[in-house]
Structure formats: structure tokens, C-alpha cells
């Protein structure tokens, strides 16, 4: 039985990624792995906020930057107010889409896009 899918986004700097995902998006770092603890990278990290998880990796071979993760939310407009107050780079403000979702898009420093969506009528 399938339960969850957790996207892995490629980043260049674990420090920059942690500042963005924890400091700006409000995710909490759950763990990190570095084969050499004296160096910040390569690093694999997991972030969680409420029930949503994202993993990021600066290991070569763990994807390329510029991917997309889709995160379902309960209150897209509340999240927009929170993130815009922190100067998060928002590429699409909350918008009602023809496919039945209200969505907002942000971009991390590596060009990965996080699409937050809420089904219309909720």
C-alpha cells in the first residue's frame, strides 16, 4: 500500500537551502546527513511542516535544480499572507485555476518551484 511521496529537490548549498526552507517557508529540519561533518556539503536534509515533507540534497546525482514540488494546503490565502510578510519570492500569487485549485507558486534560491494548492470550495 502506498502512503506518501516525498519529493527530493536538488540544491547547491545546504546552508542556503536550510535558511530558505526553515527560515522563510516555516518548515522544520527533521534530519541531515553529511558524509564529512567538517564540510557543509554534500548534504541530504529533510524538512517538515504540518503533514508535508520535502527533502533536499546537494549530492551529485540526486537530480538537478529546477524541479517542482506540489504541496496541498488548507488555507492558501493565509499562507500567502505569512510568506509575503517574510519577503519570500512569490512567482504566482493565489490564483483560482481552471482545473479546480487555488494555487500559489514560490521559487527557492536554486530555481526549484514549490507549488502550494488548495482545492476550490474548501
**CA dihedral of 110, 23, 28, 18, whole degrees rounded to 10:** 40
Structural domains of the chain, ranges and CATH numbers in brackets: 8-119 (3.10.180.10)
Classify 93 as helix, strand or coil: strand
Give the strand pairing for 101-107 and 90-96.
antiparallel
pTM of the model: 0.93
> Residues in the chain, how many?
122
Residues 29/17, Cβ–Cβ less than 8 Å: no
Q: Return the C-alpha cell found at 113.
A: 518551484
Closest CA to 57 of 13, 6, 88: 13
Per-residue tens of pLDDT for the chain, all 122 residues:
888 889 999 999 999 999 999 999 999 999 999 999 999 999 999 999 999 999 999 999 998 899 999 999 999 999 999 999 998 999 999 999 999 999 999 999 999 999 999 999 86
The whole-number pLDDT of residue 3 equals: 85
The whole-number pLDDT of residue 2 equals: 87
Task: Please state, in angstroms and rounded to a whole number, the distance separating the CA atoms of residues 47 and 18.
Answer: 9
- Residue 9's φ and ψ, nearest 5 degrees, are -105, 135
Where do the H-state alpha helices sit in 1-122? 14-18, 76-84
Beta bridge partners of 54: 47
The whole-number pLDDT of residue 122 equals: 63
Amino acid at each position: 500500500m502506498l502512503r506518501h511521496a516525498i519529493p527530493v529537490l536538488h540544491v547547491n548549498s545546504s546552508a542556503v537551502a536550510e535558511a530558505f526552507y526553515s527560515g522563510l517557508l516555516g518548515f522544520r529540519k527533521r534530519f541531515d546527513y553529511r558524509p564529512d561533518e567538517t564540510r557543509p556539503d554534500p548534504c541530504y536534509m529533510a524538512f517538515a511542516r504540518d503533514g508535508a515533507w520535502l527533502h533536499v540534497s546537494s549530492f551529485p546525482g540526486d537530480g538537478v535544480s529546477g524541479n517542482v514540488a506540489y504541496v496541498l494546503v488548507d488555507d492558501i490565502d493565509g499562507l500567502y499572507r505569512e510568506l509575503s510578510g517574510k519577503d519570500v519570492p512569490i512567482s504566482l500569487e493565489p490564483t483560482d485555476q481552471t482545473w479546480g485549485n487555488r494555487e500559489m507558486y514560490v521559487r527557492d534560491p536554486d530555481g526549484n518551484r514549490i507549488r502550494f494548492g488548495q482545492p476550490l470550495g474548501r
